[in-house]
Structure 1
Amino acid sequence: MSGEVADPKPGKAQRRRLSRSLVIIALSIIAGYLIIQFVGQIDWGQVYRSFGHVSWWQVLILVGVLVLRQTLNAVPLATFVPGLGLNHSLQNDVAANVAGTVTPPPGDVVVRIAMFNSWNVNPVDGMAGVTMNMLNFYAVRLLAPVVGLVLFTVAGLERHRVGWALLCALGAVVLMLILAMVLRAEDWADRLGRGAALQAQRFKASADPDKWSAAVNKFREQMSDGFTQRSTISMLALLAMVAVDSMILLLALRFVGVPASALSIVLVIGTFFSAYPLTAMPLFGFGVLDAVLTAAFVEESGLHYEPIIIAGLAIWRAITILGPLLAGAVTILVWRRRSGSNLNLWGSKDTAPTLSEA
């Protein structure tokens, strides 16, 4: 309607979200810095010089392994969404990643739905697959320390975190059991939907238990068929993705000059798996995870290698964070040109495609 005054609330909400993101980044960096300081005084000049040890062809190797990592990460969505395919799943994942990073919510959902529509994929099925992908990833994130424990045990290393691994494994088992019961029993789905709505009413009075129950049951109908087989494929692919992620870190450490005599393959990969649940923290555990890995690696190799280890971790972060963001930005530009979409991720939520419009 002409003459209406624009609602200032969306702008204020975006500023609050931006401020909160900046605070989280600052706190993560400060936490990481303080933890590293307990390890020892850092020779930042040596950290900088360590970057010079990396050749251009080694960067290409890291990028190549990153492509494998992202491909494995796209397998679950392709498995859960009929007719999507691995190529479109990969595009959807990297595009949603960059949208969720640089735009206010629900930018990632907007771009996912718009892409599903352009590929003639039912967006309801697509978002159900996204949900299953997320739940499977949380389960794998919790199972990762068990893999680390197994690696340490087989190699005879005395870095057993039995209690931590068992606690995480218990969380993963509980998560998957609840999901299995929800998908196999209508009454469980009904209880979950209504219970979630009642909790949501504490923050949003309009949450309707009947609608939430119907939504959960709709999700159950879509995902229950072949749940065990598809979840198995999904989780195996995600475990392989974590392993490849640890290989990128291992290669980065080797390229900057950390020898196998200081940090063995098993120790690097096992420690990475053991600390992987920390990626549940904001920004994929940026700051805190890096500090924990640094402390563990320096404890094993000695303070002499600390600057080099920090350089290797910085390269790993640059490859695994900036690489997907760049790929996502290029993917969105190419997709918009090919599909003729005029999608505006920074527009109001009223301009976003919705599931009901599919």
Structure 2
Amino acid sequence: MPAGHAEPRRRWLRRLIAVAVAVVIAVVIMNRVGQVDWSAVADALGRLSWWQPLILLAVVALRQVLNASPLHFYIEGVSLRRATQNDLGAILMSMVAPAPANYALRVAMFSSWGVSAARGIAGSTMNTLTLMIARFAVPLIGFALLVVVGGEISYRWADLFSLLIAAALVAAVVLILRSNGLARTLGTRAGQFAGRFRRGVDPERWAQSCVDFRAHISTRFRYGFPRSLAGICAMLADDLVLLVLCLRFVGVPASQAGLADVAVAYLFAFPLTILPFSGIGIVDSIIIAALVQSGGHAVEAPALAALVLWRIFTLGVPPLAGLGAIGLWRRTSGKQAQPT
């Protein structure tokens, strides 16, 4: 079998294995929570009124605009509308093709809009890094919330490791932006470390990539980073609102799962969305287990229904919107894209 065909198949095999592991872990967690009454889950989903999904769609639309906002702040000349269009297209591409197909589409879109490939890649990289920093830092808000409202920390001390990752990412970005020498040194060390786990890694190429990245992002970092971080935090708040609405729409009242309870469960589980398919199964089971712990077993079935609904809108709607985003781009600017 040609190497070019074998590598995509290996990537998809790794994804399937990751999903299978997530399902197994989810089943183990759910068994510890209790026996799921699937008829009760179906009844909870049946409580939805026709107008409630429309509200969820509006919340998801805002979520995706906020999720794309770093592209607008980091790349001069890219409007918020185009940033959202680019991000939706990349989300779809990342689901149907192996990396770096999503970056290839991003660059093609940027080129058609008059943005150089180098600036587009640098802005997209900072977009990813900002999301990673926010993802691993959100348990800090969870710890603060537990101090205010009370509650057991117990196993959540493990999230201190997540905070260390966020701090390391911030330190790495600051070091890269400080000077070309530090950028080259950090890139070389990172390439050498990566070479221990993957063949064919060229540390010198990694070093030059860090230097090029610094050249293209340094002028926009002070302007873009705080605004992008605020945009991602707003996206997380919007995502939490979406989860709360899903719970309320399927019949979980505030008396059983208050806003603080849902927020704590969400904030401590969110770092695991870095897993394939946003940690589907694992993240959901952790949130349900936390809600059952605070609201009792009566919450389990409707909470599971709410998580199913939440996943439909957060994982299903953006790729569908990505189809429209790519189609609109092809009709308007796609023909002007430079070969990537």
TM bucket, shorter chain? over 0.9
Determine what percentage of the aligned residue pairs are the same residue.
Answer: 36
Which residue, 138, 153, 159 being the options, matches 2:152? 159
- Map of 1:1-358 to 2, 5 A cutoff? 8-154=2-148, 156-160=149-153, 163-164=157-158, 166-202=160-196, 203-205=198-200, 207=202, 209=204, 211-341=205-335, 353-354=339-340
Equivalent pair of 1:247/1:269 in contact (CA under 8 Å): no
Give the whole-Å Cα distance in 2 for the aligned partners of 1:270 and 1:26: 27
Higher-Rg member (1/2): 1
**By how many angstroms is 1:201 displaced?**
4.6
**By how many angstroms is 1:200 displaced?**
4.7
Residue range with higher mean Cα deviation, 177-186 or 221-230: 221-230
> Residue 334 and residue 28 in structure 1: after superposition, are their counterparts in 2 closer, same or farther (change >3 A)?
same
The one-character-per-residue Cα deviations of 1:63-83 (angstroms, maximum 9, x if unpaired) are 101111111111111100111
Equivalent pair of 1:110/1:353 in contact (CA under 8 Å): no
The one-character-per-residue Cα deviations of 1:204-260 (angstroms, maximum 9, x if unpaired) are 447261x43232112112112242332111111111111111110100000000001
Give the whole-Å Cα distance in 2 for the aligned partners of 1:18 and 1:165: 29
Q: Which amino acid aligns with 1:274?
A: F
> Residue 75 and residue 265 in structure 1: after superposition, are their counterparts in 2 closer, same or farther (change >3 A)?
same
**By how many angstroms is 1:194 displaced?**
1.9
TM-score scaled to structure 1, two decimals?
Answer: 0.89
**By how many angstroms is 1:110 displaced?**
1.6
Give the whole-Å Cα distance in 2 for the aligned partners of 1:30 and 1:153: 33
> Residue 122 and residue 46 in structure 1: after superposition, are their counterparts in 2 closer, same or farther (change >3 A)?
same
**By how many angstroms is 1:182 displaced?**
1.3
Residue range with higher mean Cα deviation, 99-108 or 194-203: 194-203
Equivalent pair of 2:139/2:268 in contact (CA under 8 Å): yes
Q: Say what the alpha-carbon RMSD is for the aligned residues.
A: 2.0
Equivalent pair of 1:151/1:270 in contact (CA under 8 Å): yes
TM-score scaled to structure 2, two decimals?
Answer: 0.93
**By how many angstroms is 1:106 displaced?**
2.0
Structure 2, unpaired ranges of 5+:
none
Q: Which amino acid aligns with 1:159?
A: E
> Residue 173 and residue 12 in structure 1: after superposition, are their counterparts in 2 closer, same or farther (change >3 A)?
closer
Equivalent pair of 2:243/2:310 in contact (CA under 8 Å): yes
Residue range with higher mean Cα deviation, 81-90 or 185-194: 185-194
Q: Which residue of 2 aligns with 1:349?
A: none
Structure 1, unpaired ranges of 5+:
1-6, 344-351
Matched residues, number: 338
